């Protein structure tokens, strides 16, 4: 196959490209230029899209002896990821930009361009596995599964991929742990073998999400309200700077009332109010999610699944069903209440290690319980 290897400049994508070459594919390395001013980013930036990263990727490609190109996708990234990120926080939601990037950039814009240029597939350094099985009709079905390294598993952020995208995707690292990947990179003589992993949001290099949003949305003073009493207990400079489950950074004169710590339990964007309450108000077990994406056929009835709402969060046993009137809406009923679940987050559904699909949480609630029940 003719394969585009997405090379971020890190150790994972470097080994992924090398493994695709070892497997006999015709490989071309591509670095995605996602910043309109990459040259201004600091060398110590914790993201994965700096000008230094492009240089690291090129050196790996040279060592492998494969062609290397930089594809400018800054405008698309700005529109589909960064602008979406700002809009979601403005609306009082908590987005995951890595999922949006995988959906809109790496497996839409990148794959579409690769196919248009005559390539067959895209390979990335994600820690996930594509497992092929024979279907009842004799055809081959490709399934997305968790990576074997539980600490690095990235199947959650790939839950937005559909069956067609999976048919043209390779994740060569899914069967290996991260320490072994670093050892392999060193053995291959890659200069990035000991390069630190990227953290946080790639376009917020200093990790200060609230400060980054304030520069774009401006200060918007509002009230912090106790959800139980309705009392105004403080003020803030922008509701967009808060997310459900947050405890620190509330800026209150008293961090607790009656000895109980307070958490953000709601963000009301229309009134610019932040609601706080005790931890018992955080647990939810009913999720309504939209923008459903299925890694294979959509479920036709209520199905037993594992549900995960954070990239490295716990998986909770649940029931899921597609809405009777809107196929893009999914209802998820959790066996165990989860705390700090916010609209805008993604819920990814699993059957064992297989990713069934994902959807974006639109609303949360809890089942009614009998009086006196926990």
Q: Which residues are catalytic?
A: 101, 202
Among residues 323, 25, 326, 61, the alpha carbon closest in space to that of 172 is found at 25
Q: What does the alpha-carbon distance between residue 121 and residue 113 come to, in Å, rounded to a whole number? A: 11
Distance, CA of 53 to CA of 33 (rounded, Å): 10
The two structure tokens encoding residue 270: 């229309």
Q: How many CB atoms lie within 10 A of CB 296?
A: 17
Tokens describing residue 354:
């297989």
Q: How far is CA 206 from CA 43, 95, 217, in A?
A: 12, 18, 18
Would you give the end-to-end CA distance of the chain in angstroms?
56
In 149-223, alpha helices (H): 163-166, 178-187, 209-217
Longest CA span, the chain: 69
For residue 111 the two structure tokens come to 């794959």
Distance CA 151, CA 218 (A): 37
* Backbone dihedral angles phi then psi of residue 320, each to the nearest 5 degrees: -135, 145
CA distances from 33 to 13, 71, 79, 220, 265 (A): 15, 6, 14, 33, 38
Helix axes 11-22, 178-187, angle to 10 degrees: 70
> Under DSSP, is residue 83 helix (H, G, I), strand (E, B) or coil?
helix
Q: Label residue 317 exposed, middle or buried (CB < 10 Å: 0-12, 13-18, 19+).
A: exposed
**What would the two tokens of residue 242 be?**
């808060």
Distance CA(358)–CA(294), nearest Å, equals 6
DSSP assigned state of 266 = E
């Amino acid at each position: 196959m003719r394969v585009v290897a997405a090379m971020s400049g890190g150790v994972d994508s470097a080994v992924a490209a090398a493994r695709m070459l070892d497997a006999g594919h015709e490989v071309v390395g591509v670095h995605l230029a996602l910043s309109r001013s990459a040259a201004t980013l600091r060398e110590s930036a914790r993201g994965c899209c700096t000008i230094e990263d492009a240089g690291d990727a090129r050196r790996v490609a040279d060592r492998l002896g494969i062609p290397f190109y930089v594809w400018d996708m800054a405008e698309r990234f700005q529109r589909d990821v960064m602008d979406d990120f700002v809009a979601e926080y403005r609306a009082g939601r908590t987005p995951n930009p890595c999922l949006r990037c995988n959906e809109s950039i790496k497996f839409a814009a990148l794959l579409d361009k690769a196919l248009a240029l005559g390539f067959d597939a895209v390979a990335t350094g994600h820690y996930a596995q594509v497992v092929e099985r024979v279907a009842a009709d004799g055809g081959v079905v490709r399934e997305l599964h968790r990576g074997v390294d539980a600490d690095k598993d990235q199947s959650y952020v790939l839950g937005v991929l559909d069956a067609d995208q999976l048919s043209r995707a390779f994740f060569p690292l899914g069967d290996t742990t991260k320490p072994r990947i670093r050892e392999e990179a060193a053995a291959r003589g890659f200069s990035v073998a000991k390069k630190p992993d990227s953290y946080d949001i790639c376009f917020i290099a200093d990790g200060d999400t609230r400060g980054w949003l304030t520069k774009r949305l401006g200060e918007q003073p509002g009230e912090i309200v106790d959800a139980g009493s309705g009392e105004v207990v403080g003020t803030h400079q922008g509701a967009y700077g808060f997310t459900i489950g947050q405890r620190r950074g509330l800026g209150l004169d008293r961090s607790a009332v009656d000895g109980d710590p307070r958490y953000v339990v709601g963000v009301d964007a229309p009134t610019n109010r932040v609601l706080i309450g005790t931890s018992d108000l955080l647990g939810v077990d009913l999720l309504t999610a939209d923008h459903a994406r299925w890694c294979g056929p959509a479920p036709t009835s209520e199905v037993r699944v594992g549900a995960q709402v954070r990239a490295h969060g716990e998986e909770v046993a649940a029931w899921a069903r597609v809405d009777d009137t809107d196929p893009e809406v999914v209802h998820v009923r959790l066996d165990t209440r989860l705390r700090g679940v916010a609209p805008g987050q993604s819920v990814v559904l699993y059957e064992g290690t297989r990713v069934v699909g994902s959807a974006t949480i639109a609303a949360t609630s809890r089942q009614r319980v009998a009086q006196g029940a926990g």
